[in-house]
Amino acid sequence: MVQSWAFENGSDPSVPGMKVLVPAKINTLLHLLHKREDGYHEICSHLVPVSLYDLLEVESRSRRGIGLEVTGVAINEAPQKNLVFQAA
């Protein structure tokens, strides 16, 4: 399944981009510590790498805006809640 969102028109295929494999990990330990001023919590965690990966592709756009395309399991949340979208 592919879900796509575009928040402005078009992208320019002549503008270079990049693809990277992002390794998966399993969080075997998670302790929530104190709450920070920004509303998030400090954490103590232990991560174990596994041999699964996501493919992350980033492309420049010739126009203002952000596009987000997710392949795989359907996501029932607004794209603005996606961490990749927020980082852009």
* pLDDT level of residue 14 (50, 70, 90 thresholds): low
Q: Which of 7-16, 26-35, 53-62, 64-73 has the highest mean pLDDT?
A: 26-35
Assess whether pLDDT exceeds 50 at residue 10.
no
Closest Cα partner for 24 from 53, 1, 46?
Answer: 53
pLDDT for 9: 40
At CA 38, angle to CA 58 and CA 42, rounded to 5?
85
Cα(87)–Cα(80) distance, rounded to whole angstroms?
10
The separation between CA 28 and the C-alpha centre of its own chain, rounded to angstroms, equals 21
